[in-house]
A and B are shown apart, each in its own frame.
Chain A
Amino acid sequence: MSVSAARPALRRAVRCSNNTVKYSTAKSGLLSSPASLSRSFSSTVSSHSPKTPNSSSIPEYARPDPSRPTHFGFETVTEAEKRERVAGVFTSVAESYDRMNDLMSFGWHRIWKDHFVASLNPGFSPLTSGPDPRAPQHILDIAGGTGDIAFRMLHTAHNINRNPDVRVTISDINPAMLSVGKQRSQSLPATQQAVLNFVEANAEDLTKTRPLHSDPSAATISIPDQSVDLYTVAFGIRNFSNIPAALREAYRVLKPGGVFACLEFSKVDKHPLFNAVYKRWSFGAIPLIGQLVAGDRDSYQYLVESIERFPSQEEFRDMIVDAGFVVGGQGYEDLTGGVAAIHKGMKPRA
């Protein structure tokens, strides 16, 4: 992979975001450690926010609120602060995130991603007699960062299922991650590059997106209601400050019959011994390795804690159902004993 062109920009981004992390960490004095597991910090910022009159049907928790307390790893910070800090983490690890995923998944994440994409079989659309009934498919890859999922989707749709009528929108909150993805996409066939679209967006509010590197003062674009066949989010959702809000947006943009699919680190509680070993590994070794390999202990510490914080398979499935989706079977599939899991939900017909 070649990211040399993006490197100077990234370096700058990494440097300034590292400052952000350190600054906010120092400011609030919240250096976290595994020992602070149960500590919870109250926010000094008022959590009251004026309600917009037309959004009163939306539950309070599902409305993005920059001042509401949320979690950053095991720390409690405001949603706005978390967003800033998450951006910092991923900027600082944009280039080494592959290595990070390798560490957390024992190298399995590539196989999980392959399986995730194969199980969604994008572009599959049997031909029937008469006029070609294949409807174009629009895939929205949220927190798509470096394009890992999107490129696999395109490969399956175009090369395996031979359906060129599939386009992918890669969306991420972090332009540095998107830049890496854009850079990588240059090596794809032109037909695939032509149907790729990179947009900056916060997954919790897809009404305000902007094309990558567009003028920050330019008007934002909304992803229309019922415009997406498949919404994917891989190793992204646990970073969101407000998961119910993100699920609500997923529901909004999906067509009836459209599918929400999520690949995320999960819980190995069903296997107590493995669980104990895995926790030891993740809490003990990974931040240290992060320190040694990337010189960035904080980011790796955050990674480990955010995984621990994320709801169990069943809890997350229930959140998906609460957002209005229907699930098949138990609603999720464990990978490698639950180190990761795939959740799927379908938006029912109106």
Chain B
Amino acid sequence: MRPATTTLSRRAATAAITATRPSQAQLLSGAAIKTTTTAPKSRYITSLSRPRQMQQIQQTSSIQSRPLRKYHSYEHPPPPGPFSPTEEAILSAAYKHVPEHGFSLESLALGAREAGYLDISTTILPEGAFSLIRYHLVKQREALAARTEALFRVPENQKHVSISEKVELLTWERLQGNAQVIARWQEALAIMAQPSYIPSSLKELAKLADEIYFLAGDVSVDPSWYSKRASLSTTYAAAELFMTNDHSPDFRDTREFLRRRLGEASELGSAASAIREWIGFTATAGVNVLRSKGVRI
């Protein structure tokens, strides 16, 4: 399947694959598989479970027949953004209407009008209202990188910031990105939990966890590579849900919740249970929102 590489790097890559394989298998046999029927499996695996380090190993090989997708490549310019200029124009204008109109077709249409398009123009967005949610997820994730320097600045007299502290800081930073739209976030979670959007939602969650570990400077390649990210995903999702009901000043309770969960997370079980838990959380949120709207479930 892979092109021939130098023996050395191939062996290293194989080692990395072997290292992550158990968790991959667990994931695919776990709850997630039922929900991913619409997503090509290969894409799913690429985004969820190929360690960054493995990609870097592959990059060093001289022969490569098929370009691989890389999240953080130091040698190549980033791939074109996930949104075309037209989509960007409509979505960025629509995003401003989310606090008032939610992640909805209303917001999309209002955005389209502002960008000089028609109500009907929004129908070329393949995922409807979910496009707006994905826009939020992508933009918030991408914004993290620019803030790391300020986040990790340590007061003169203190020891350096550890990786797990950085993970906590970044996760909290990302959670605060939801503050603007927090009143709409349960609704968004309900949309994300719809069967056709679960694969995309999970993929975004996986990319976030990967981004956080990358920005935190975690470079280890070992069997924990996958489960670390999976448990961060679960913790993040739980904290995100917690935050939608948090009325404490500056979401202090959410931060406390996050700290506690990150502490426990190191002892958490397998990837499969982590993903199952995430779906549980999200689905519960969805059911609650639907109930609040008078649907009898």
A-side residues, CB < 8 A to B, are 119-122, 124-126, 128, 133-135, 137, 229-230, 255-259, 261, 326-330, 333, 344-346, 348-349
Contact = CB atoms under 8 A, between A and B. Distances in A.
B50 interface: no
Contacts of A348: 86
B84 interface: yes
Contact of A259 (B109, B113, B121): B121
A345 B125 CA distance: 10
Interface of B: 84, 86-87, 101, 105-106, 109-110, 112-113, 116-121, 123-127
B120 A330 contact: no
28 contacts: A120-B123, A124-B105, A124-B119, A125-B109, A125-B119, A126-B101, A126-B105, A126-B109, A134-B119, A135-B118, A135-B119, A137-B119, A255-B118, A257-B120, A257-B121, A259-B118, A259-B120, A259-B121, A326-B124, A327-B124, A328-B84, A328-B86, A328-B87, A329-B125, A329-B126, A346-B86, A346-B124, A349-B116
A122 B106 contact: no
B110 A128 contact: yes
Contact of B120 (A133, A230, A349): A230
Contacts of A134: 119
B265 to A, nearest CB: 35
Contacts of B120: 120, 122, 137, 229-230, 257-259
A126 B106 contact: yes
A328 B109 contact: no
B86 A330 contact: no
A126 B134 CA distance: 22
A328 B86 CA distance: 8
Nearest to B112: A257
Contacts of B105: 121, 124, 126
A344 B123 contact: yes
A259 B106 CA distance: 18
A119 B118 contact: no
B89 to A, nearest CB: 9
Chief secondary structure at chain B's binding surface: helix
Contacts of A255: 118
Given A124-B119, A135-B119, A257-B117, 17 more contacts: A119-B123, A121-B123, A124-B105, A124-B109, A126-B101, A126-B110, A134-B119, A137-B119, A256-B116, A257-B116, A257-B120, A259-B120, A259-B121, A326-B84, A329-B125, A344-B124, A348-B86
Contacts of B112: 257
A327 B85 CA distance: 11
A256 to B, nearest CB: 8
Nearest to B125: A328
Contacts of B119: 124-126, 134-135, 137
B84 A259 contact: no
B124 A328 contact: yes
Contacts of B84: 326, 328
A251 to B, nearest CB: 14
A259 B123 contact: yes
B91 to A, nearest CB: 10
B40 to A, nearest CB: 10
A345 B112 CA distance: 15
Nearest to A127: B106
Contact of B124 (A133, A135, A259): A259
Nearest to A255: B118
Q: Which 8 A-B pairs have the closest CB atoms?
A: A329-B126, A257-B117, A257-B118, A328-B124, A126-B106, A257-B121, A125-B119, A346-B124
Contacts of B113: 133
B284 to A, nearest CB: 28
B117 A349 contact: yes
B249 to A, nearest CB: 32
Q: Which of B86, B116, B123: most chain A CB closer than 10 A? A: B123
A328 B126 contact: yes
Contacts of B124: 259, 326-328, 344-346
Q: Which of A120, A133, A255, A329: most chain B CB closer than 10 A? A: A329
Given A124-B105, A124-B109, A257-B112, A229 B118 contact: yes
A119 B120 CA distance: 10
B172 to A, nearest CB: 33
Q: Which of B110, B117, B120, B125: most chain A CB closer than 10 A? A: B120
Nearest to B127: A329
B118 A258 contact: yes
A348 B113 CA distance: 13
A118 B109 CA distance: 16
A345 B105 CA distance: 18
